[in-house]
């Protein structure tokens, strides 16, 4: 995140400097000289004597250093929030933090960045004032300093390094007091606008501007004292207290507010631009800077593919069940279906072997080997079969002494097994957790991750680690798990029933505050396989599972028989718009934001974005077993506040709601054990012509 902080800091600080430095120069001269009648007089005389460049004196050093200074500020701010909220990622982006926490974090940020700020302020002030020459207004007078480097050299030569920190205590006091006034005004106004659905660029500009006035007026006396001290001739020493008394005795109380109008105007202009640029760029930088999870660069979007377990379990009797046993033909058949039926083109690109594939014992060298009867070609050739068809090859193992089906586990063989999988050209490993003490899991799963990386082959790593800690939630550290695994199971195995699907949804709903901050590119919570198309699952249930899995940005790993799946289920699995929501590059897990006994409403930010606003996926689940329900909601009440509105469409029925404002209401009927899935695109970012017409012959709800 350091480079994101630097980019945001440099861009935001640079924008503020460009528009505000002339007023800063005027302010500094008004506060240190008595020859000006006011703002306009100072600007006029400066431009007449020194041209427009006179107003930008001293800007080079702040402009060059603003990125580093702001990045220190943001780093200190973010570190303080992470201290208050350990384990929560992207905490800086939250909009519901208590004011006391924001103030604390802001002061921490100020303390971190104040060191480099002091010499930058000193050089800037000396160049702006150039007191010995400018006060006499000789048109062709030579400036005291030719530039910032000469100013720095002269100061160090005359006063040593300490000379660059003259007035430092005043800067420290000024910045901390300023934030105590700035933050409550800025956050208070912004939250007020947000609560009324008016959060946009203009309200952000206004909030930043008013906060800037508040902050700078509150520290105007300190700014006068600081400027007088820093503008003094070399070797002249005076304490802040002595300077304060000197100004008061010689010029009166009004001197402490000299340049107040310049401060107010500058405070409004600079802080409105600065805050708006900063929030926009941090938002974009956060999106662009995500490097999460196991450090292998894989699974940047939720994995998609097919896995055998729920549909075929551990069936090994290929005489009784020639088309339904765990053998190489099964996986070849599914690979062929992924290609021929259009799944591969939409992202389902992995074929995963689950348990019961190996011999019951390791070979004479202690290595795993495929069952010679059911996998006569061997795993390397099976992997080639997948790769030749543009697919990836996944395999199963267990960290314990045995797999859940009783086959050889990896305990004591992690390095050898990782090397074996790499030699077979495996692309994805699911590591289960049967037959092992859960206290050994943190180190064991981490070790396998390291061994996989050490092979040099890119292998997506799926862990079942937290699924074995359901009864010990205090032992589950998703931040730690995310450092070692690309995906992880954390609840019971799914089966082909509504009760099972609903139990998983309930678990995720109750734990979303733990899941959402630890979910994203490279690190995905896995609610288990899609059972769409299996006996016991209706079309409505299939729509519900697909909708919620997509809104969660969950892995879409099917477990069904693709050879006999009905067309209506295949259409659900191949819905491009639903998949697009799932595969959105932001990788944000949708949040349950409204809930009743029967209905749950989920919201997921997606691309495209505009400023600090995003588009959204919206899912509404009807849990009722027998009764349809009508959902009604106003966009702004669920967080859709973009002033230009959204283009909204319900995906399963292709119902086009057109352009809707934040104050508009959606009303929609949902079948029992089913769901609605909406896409809400920011209006200014979408060509309305791309919306499909209503599909009257939809196989789903009418």
Please indicate, yes or no, if residue 223 is contained in any of the structural domains: yes
Where does the pLDDT of residue 699 fall: very low under 50, low under 70, confident under 90, or very high at 90 and above?
very low
Which domain, by its residues, includes 104? 2-288
Task: List pLDDT tens digits, range 119-145.
Answer: 887 777 777 676 444 444 444 455 677
**Does 324 lie in the same domain as 277?**
no
**Does 309 lie in the same domain as 262?**
no
Task: List pLDDT tens digits, range 551-609.
Answer: 999 999 999 999 999 999 999 999 999 999 999 999 999 999 999 999 999 999 999 99
pLDDT at position 29 over 90 = no
**Does 363 lie in the same domain as 388?**
yes
- Does this model's pTM top 0.85? My answer is no
Where does the pLDDT of residue 240 fall: very low under 50, low under 70, confident under 90, or very high at 90 and above?
confident
Please indicate, yes or no, if residue 347 is contained in any of the structural domains: yes
Where does the pLDDT of residue 106 fall: very low under 50, low under 70, confident under 90, or very high at 90 and above?
confident
Alpha carbon distance 448, 417 (integer Å): 9
Please indicate, yes or no, if residue 663 is contained in any of the structural domains: no
Where does the pLDDT of residue 402 fall: very low under 50, low under 70, confident under 90, or very high at 90 and above?
very high
pLDDT recorded at residue 89: 44
**Does 512 lie in the same domain as 546?**
yes
Q: What is the mean pLDDT of residues 15-28?
A: 69
**Does 236 lie in the same domain as 313?**
no
Please indicate, yes or no, if residue 337 is contained in any of the structural domains: yes
Alpha carbon distance 97, 183 (integer Å): 12
**Does 450 lie in the same domain as 548?**
yes
**The tokens 């733990």 sit on which residue?**
514
**Does 383 lie in the same domain as 407?**
yes
Q: What is the mean pLDDT of residues 172-197?
A: 76
**Does 243 lie in the same domain as 115?**
yes
**Does 427 lie in the same domain as 278?**
no
Q: What is the mean pLDDT of residues 418-427?
A: 98
- Please list the residues that pair with 682 across neighbouring strands: 646
Q: What is the mean pLDDT of residues 98-104?
A: 82
Q: What is the mean pLDDT of residues 266-291?
A: 50
pLDDT recorded at residue 140: 47
CATH code at position 90: 1.50.40.10
**Does 231 lie in the same domain as 378?**
no
Reduce the secondary structure of 319-350 to three states and give it as a string: CCCCCCCCCHHHHHHHHHHHHHCCCHHHCCCE
Last residue of a domain, one of 559, 584, 609: 584
pLDDT at position 409 over 50 = yes
Please indicate, yes or no, if residue 636 is contained in any of the structural domains: no
- Is residue 471 flagged as an active site residue? no
Of the given ranges (239-243, 292-296, 301-305, 624-628), which has the lowest mean pLDDT? 292-296
341, 477, 493, 509: the active-site residue: 493
**Does 235 lie in the same domain as 360?**
no
Please indicate, yes or no, if residue 86 is contained in any of the structural domains: yes
Last residue of a domain, one of 561, 584, 607: 584
Parallel, antiparallel, or unpaired: how do β-strands 428-432 and 392-398 relate? parallel
175, 355, 432, 528: the active-site residue: 432
CATH code at position 445: 3.20.20.70
440, exposed or middle or buried, with CB in 10 Å at 0-12, 13-18, 19+?
Answer: middle
Please indicate, yes or no, if residue 625 is contained in any of the structural domains: no
Residue 124 near residue 66 (C-beta atoms within 8 A): no
Maximum Cα–Cα distance across the chain? 106
Task: List pLDDT tens digits, range 642-684.
Answer: 999 999 999 999 999 999 999 999 999 999 999 999 999 999 7
Please indicate, yes or no, if residue 242 is contained in any of the structural domains: yes
Task: List pLDDT tens digits, range 288-312.
Answer: 433 333 567 899 999 999 999 999 9
Alpha carbon distance 353, 430 (integer Å): 9
Residue in 67, 68, 75 with CA at minimum distance from that of residue 108: 75
Quick check: bond before 222 cis, omega within 30?
no
Quick check: bond before 514 cis, omega within 30?
no
pLDDT at position 105 over 90 = no
CA angle 278, 82, 8 (to 5 degrees): 15
Q: Which element (helix H / strand E) includes 395?
A: strand 392-398
pLDDT recorded at residue 548: 99
**Does 390 lie in the same domain as 251?**
no
- Is residue 697 flagged as an active site residue? no
Q: What is the mean pLDDT of residues 388-416?
A: 98
Residue 299 near residue 29 (C-beta atoms within 8 A): no
- 220-231 helix and 240-251 helix, angle to the nearest 10 degrees: 100
pLDDT at position 689 over 70 = no
What is the number of structural domains in the chain? Answer: 2
pLDDT at position 19 over 70 = no
Task: List pLDDT tens digits, range 457-492.
Answer: 999 999 999 999 999 999 999 999 999 999 999 999
332, exposed or middle or buried, with CB in 10 Å at 0-12, 13-18, 19+?
Answer: middle
pLDDT recorded at residue 201: 63
* Dihedral, 58, 63, 65, 67 alpha carbons, nearest 10: 160
Last residue of a domain, one of 539, 559, 584: 584
pLDDT recorded at residue 40: 81
Residue 311 near residue 559 (C-beta atoms within 8 A): yes
């Amino acid at each position: 995140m350091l480079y994101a902080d630097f980019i945001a800091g440099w861009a935001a600080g640079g924008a503020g400097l460009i528009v505000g430095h002339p007023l800063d120069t005027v302010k500094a001269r008004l506060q240190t000289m008595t020859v000006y009648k006011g703002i306009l007089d100072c600007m006029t005389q400066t431009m007449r004597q020194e041209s427009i460049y006179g107003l930008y004196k001293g800007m080079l050093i702040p402009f060059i250093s603003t990125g580093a200074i702001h990045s220190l500020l943001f780093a200190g701010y973010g570190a303080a929030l992470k201290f208050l909220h350990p384990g929560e990622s992207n905490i800086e982006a939250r909009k519901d933090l208590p004011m006391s926490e924001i103030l604390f974090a802001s002061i921490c940020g100020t303390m971190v960045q104040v060191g480099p700020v002091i010499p930058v302020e000193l050089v800037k002030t000396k160049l702006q004032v150039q007191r010995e020459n400018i006060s006499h207004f000789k048109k062709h007078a030579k400036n005291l300093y030719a530039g910032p480097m000469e100013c720095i050299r002269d100061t160090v030569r005359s006063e040593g390094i300490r000379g660059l920190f003259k007035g430092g205590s005043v800067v420290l006091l000024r910045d901390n007091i300023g934030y105590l006034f700035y933050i409550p005004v800025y956050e208070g106004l912004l939250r007020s606008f947000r609560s009324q659905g008016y959060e946009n660029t203009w309200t952000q500009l206004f909030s930043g501007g008013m906060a800037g006035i508040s902050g700078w007026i509150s520290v105007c006396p300190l700014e006068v004292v600081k400027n007088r001290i820093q503008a003094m001739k070399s070797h002249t020493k005076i304490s802040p207290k002595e300077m304060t008394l000197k100004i008061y005795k010689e010029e009166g109380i009004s001197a402490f507010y000299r340049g107040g109008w310049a401060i107010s105007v500058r405070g409004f202009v600079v802080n409105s631009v600065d805050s708006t640029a900063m929030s926009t760029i941090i938002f974009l930088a956060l999106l662009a800077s995500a490097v999460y999870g196991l450090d292998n660069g894989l699974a940047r979007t939720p994995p998609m593919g097919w896995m055998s377990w729920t549909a075929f379990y551990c069936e090994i009797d290929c005489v009784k069940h020639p088309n339904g046993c765990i053998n190489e033909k099964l996986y070849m058949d599914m690979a062929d279906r992924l290609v021929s039926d259009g799944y591969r083109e939409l992202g389902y690109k992995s074929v995963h072997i689950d348990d019961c594939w190996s011999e019951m014992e390791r070979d004479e060298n202690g290595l795993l080997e495929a069952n010679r009867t059911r996998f006569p070609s061997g795993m390397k050739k099976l992997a080639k079969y997948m790769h030749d068809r543009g697919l990836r090859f996944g395999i199963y193992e267990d960290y314990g002494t045995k797999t859940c089906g009783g086959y050889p586990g990896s305990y004591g063989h992690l390095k050898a097994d990782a090397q074996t999988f790499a030699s077979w050209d495996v692309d994805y490993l699911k590591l289960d957790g049967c037959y092992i003490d859960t206290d050994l899991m943190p180190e064991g799963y981490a070790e396998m991750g390291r061994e996989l990386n050490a092979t040099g082959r890119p292998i997506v790593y799926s862990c079942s680690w937290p699924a074995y800690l359901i009864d010990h939630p205090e032992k589950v550290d998703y931040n730690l798990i995310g450092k070692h695994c690309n995906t992880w199971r954390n609840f019971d195995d799914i089966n082909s029933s509504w009760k099972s699907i609903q139990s998983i949804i309930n678990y995720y709903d109750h734990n979303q505050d733990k899941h959402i901050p630890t979910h994203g590119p490279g690190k995905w919570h896995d609610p288990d396989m899609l059972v769409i198309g299996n006996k016991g699952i209706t079309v409505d249930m299939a729509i519900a599972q697909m909708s919620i899995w997509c809104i969660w940005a969950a892995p879409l790993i099917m477990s069904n028989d693709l050879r006999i799946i009905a067309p209506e289920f295949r259409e659900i699995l191949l819905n491009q718009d639903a998949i697009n929501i799932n595969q959105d590059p932001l990788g944000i897990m949708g949040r349950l934001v409204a809930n009743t006994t029967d209905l749950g409403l989920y919201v997921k930010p997606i691309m495209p974005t505009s400023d600090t606003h995003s588009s959204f996926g919206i899912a509404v689940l009807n849990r009722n077993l027998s009764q349809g329900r009508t959902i009604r909601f106003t966009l702004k009440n669920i967080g859709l506040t973009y002033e230009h509105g959204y283009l909204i469409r319900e995906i399963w029925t292709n119902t086009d709601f057109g352009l809707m404002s934040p104050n508009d209401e959606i009303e929609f009927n949902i079948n029992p054990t089913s769901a609605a899935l909406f896409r809400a695109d920011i209006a200014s970012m979408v060509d309305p012509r791309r919306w499909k017409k209503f599909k009257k012959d939809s196989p789903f709800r009418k």
